[in-house]
Structure 1
Amino acid sequence: MSRPAHPWIPVGIDGIAAHLGVSENTVIAWRRRSAEWVKVAKFPEAEGRISGRDWWWLADVLEWADKTGRRTSGQVPA
């Protein structure tokens, strides 16, 4: 498994929510609804599981958030 460009920090749903300034339920909804979206970039696939919970590279999620307009100027930069 290769690491993406910086920041290559592993995050769970709680970390994604914190970085993007939304609730964990919002992240869960984005992930679920992403499977149905046709004209919007799909939410990144989880890189793996730790203790039964999915995790992602922060860089992948921030890139997705930028592409889909879900990250504002007040949020943590990539």
Structure 2
Amino acid sequence: MPRPEPPWVPVGIDGIAAELGVTENTVMAWRRRSADWVRVEKFPEPAGRISNRAWWWLADILDWAEKTGRQPPDRT
């Protein structure tokens, strides 16, 4: 199976943090704050799990970051 082209690459919390220029703790806080009572765009659901660790498609994360104003300065 061919690998997807960037930004359709799988990323974990560490990859999301690196891509958006934040700490892993910040990414985990964004996930927690995506509750029903919070009126912000919800953090994307994981696309899957590997060894019980969640992963996402980078493109989905970048779309979410743009919608919520969390994209890194070089992506504006």
Alignment of 1:1-78 (within 5 A): 6-35=6-35, 36-38=37-39, 40-74=40-74, 77=75
Cα distance in 2, alignment partners of residues 37 and 18 from structure 1: 25
* Structure exhibiting the larger radius of gyration computed from Cα positions: 2
Alignment coverage as a number of residue pairs = 71
Q: Structure 1 regions of 5+ residues with no counterpart? A: none
TM-score (norm. length: structure 1): 0.82
C-alpha separation in 1, matches of 2:6 and 2:24:
23
Tell me, what secondary structure is at the counterpart of 1:69?
coil
CA RMSD of aligned residues (A): 1.8
- Alpha-carbon displacement from aligned partner over 1:47-77 (angstroms, at most 9, x marks no partner): 1100110000000000000000001332xx4
Q: Deviations over 1:20-70 (max 9, x none)?
A: 0000000000000111422x1100000110011000000000000000000
Alpha-carbon shift at residue 6 of structure 1 (Å): 4.9
Seq. identity, %: 69
TM-score (norm 2): 0.84
1:54 alignment partner, SS class = strand
CA distance in 2 between partners of 1:16 and 1:6 (Å): 14
